[in-house]
Amino acid sequence: MIPRTDRLLALPAVRAAAAAMSERVVRGVVRAVQDEARSGRLAPEEVEARVLAALGSRTPSSLRPVLNATGVIVHTNLGRAPLSEAARRALADAAGYADVEFDLGSGTRSRRGAGARAALLAACPEAEDALVVNNGAAALLLAVTVLAAGREVVLSRGEMIEIGAGFRLPDLIASTGARVREVGTTNRTHPDDYADALGADTGCVLKIHASNYRISGFTSEVPVAALRALCDERGTPLVADLGSGLLCPDPVLPEEPDLAGALRDGADLVIASGDKLLGGPQAGLLLGRAEAIARCARHPLARALRADKLALAALEATLTGPEAPVPAALHADPDVLRERTARVAAALGAEVVAHDGRVGGGGGAEVPLPGWAVSLPEDLAAPLRAGTPAVVATVRDGACLVDLRCIPEQDEQALVDAVRSARTTVR
């Protein structure tokens, strides 16, 4: 006979599981197992064990922690930037009630995200003001809506970018009611192309950093400083979407534009993502002239796109705390990486091979980050992904390559254990 629901719910192990999840979820698990037995797919005497196994493997969230062994630092499919310990603590502190819009001294309402704004301005003093929204695309959407809805956005044809999952920035711009005015060609755009396009119907000039691809050869583009001179002649706002969130120049990425530089060169607004090279949570950052930021903040769309308290807390902690994992991985010493890789390879009886890491997330396109990897048989990739912890490696040329660039040193033993466990499943 199939065990009754009330009997299963009364089991001590089931009651313990119910303390970590809702009664509705626990009952759903019980009913699903009972249905298996009713359909004949499970023997009645196996129901209790199956219920306990199902509850024991259940977690409040379906998201699983992953060891990123790909060598890709800002891995979009793995959640982009891993947060620093400071940012994780800030998330926990903000998870309950917090003074996100409340002045504890006066007992009155305060400006939302004041701490994150102050941290951004301290990190990028070239900006007069800053605004945080929920992601980079939202920042572009807000800026174009405020400056150019119903008007033209002048944009080089070589910067008409498609980002992840098939989303195209020209389509995003068009959704605001603005019209894209293409100038130049795919490989070459000149100052006169912009000058000829600027007119009474121009809402703004937009320069987008081609961060996820590279055009080489017979090419030219117009830098922000030159565009500033043109925009000054016509009284036109200039917006620079840099995407990757690099605050200041980095010798590892010499061709990656930075926020401070774009502002010094004259951009009215600079747009970036918080969860790329900045190394923080998902957020869209707008920095620039006080008047332009104020216009964005006053627009009704700003309310719909605003960042939540968790993102604001994590962003502030990323900016004010110690070095985050993303810049640490970007500047990892190849010799140290080799020593770590050799240590793991020795524990596994495996070979060390040269392996270039990447920035990922639409940053540092085609820039190799010299490093090393543990070379394992290709058939270990799937069981590594299915294990606990899950390990995502790179499969290439018949090998499973495990790169330690993005794996914290304290997780090395967990990685070794995961590989050993995976080996037992393929023997």
Rounded Cα gap, residues 394 and 381, in angstroms = 8
Task: Say what the pLDDT of residue 273 is.
Answer: 96
**Of 40-54, 119-133, 172-186, where does mean pLDDT reach its minimum?**
40-54
Domain shared by 94 and 228, yes or no: yes
Rounded Cα gap, residues 338 and 335, in angstroms = 5
Rounded Cα gap, residues 263 and 265, in angstroms = 5
In a domain, 383, yes or no: yes
Rounded Cα gap, residues 422 and 386, in angstroms = 9
**What are the tens digits of pLDDT across the range 253-300?**
998 999 999 999 999 999 999 999 999 999 999 999 999 999 999 999
Is 89 exposed, middle or buried, given 0-12, 13-18 or 19+ CB atoms closer than 10 A? middle
Domain shared by 358 and 232, yes or no: no
Other CB atoms within a 10 A radius of the CB of residue 384 amount to: 24
In a domain, 276, yes or no: yes
* Those residues with Cβ within 8 angstroms of residue 127's Cβ, 6 or more apart along the chain or in another chain: 120, 121, 259, 263, 270, 287, 288
Contact (Cβ atoms closer than 8 angstroms) between residue 204 and residue 237: yes
Give the CATH number for residue 268. 3.40.640.10
Domain shared by 145 and 248, yes or no: yes
* Those residues with Cβ within 8 angstroms of residue 274's Cβ, 6 or more apart along the chain or in another chain: 132, 245, 280, 281, 282, 283, 284, 285, 311, 315, 318
Domain boundary among 296, 322, 348: 322
Domain shared by 183 and 117, yes or no: yes
In a domain, 170, yes or no: yes
Give the CATH number for residue 371. 3.90.1150.180
- The counts of H helices and E strands in the chain are 18, 15
In a domain, 138, yes or no: yes
In a domain, 408, yes or no: yes
* Average pLDDT over all residues of the chain: 94
Task: Say what the pLDDT of residue 90 is.
Answer: 98
Provide the pairing of β-strand 108-109 with 102-103: antiparallel
Total domains in the fold of the chain: 3
Residue for token pair 């270990």: 380
* Those residues with Cβ within 8 angstroms of residue 26's Cβ, 6 or more apart along the chain or in another chain: 9, 14, 17, 18, 55
Domain shared by 119 and 223, yes or no: yes
**What are the tens digits of pLDDT across the range 172-228?**
999 999 999 999 999 999 999 999 999 999 999 999 998 777 788 999 999 999 999
Domain shared by 281 and 144, yes or no: yes
Strand (E) or helix (H) holding 130: strand 129-133
**What are the tens digits of pLDDT across the range 79-92?**
999 999 999 999 99
**What are the tens digits of pLDDT across the range 372-389?**
999 999 999 999 999 999
Q: What are phi and psi of 180, to 5 degrees?
A: -80, 125
The parent domain of residue 422 ranges over: 66-77+328-426
For residue 309, is pLDDT > 80? yes
Rounded Cα gap, residues 108 and 126, in angstroms = 31
Domain shared by 149 and 29, yes or no: no
Domain shared by 193 and 316, yes or no: yes
Region 126-155: mean pLDDT is 98
For residue 21, is pLDDT > 90? no
Domain shared by 38 and 92, yes or no: no
In a domain, 338, yes or no: yes
Domain boundary among 257, 287, 322: 322
In a domain, 61, yes or no: no
Domain boundary among 295, 322, 349: 322
DSSP conformation letters of 58-117:
--SSS---EEE-SSBSSBGGGTBSPPPHHHHHHHHHHSSS--TTEETTTTEE--TTHHHH
For residue 392, is pLDDT > 90? yes
Domain shared by 201 and 168, yes or no: yes
For residue 165, is pLDDT > 80? no
Domain shared by 317 and 337, yes or no: no
Judged by DSSP in three states, 188 sits in strand
**What are the tens digits of pLDDT across the range 397-426?**
999 999 999 999 999 999 999 999 999 998
Domain shared by 172 and 303, yes or no: yes
In a domain, 60, yes or no: no
For residue 164, is pLDDT > 80? no
- Give the CA radius of gyration of the chain: 26
pTM of the entire predicted model = 0.91
Provide the pairing of β-strand 269-273 with 399-403: unpaired
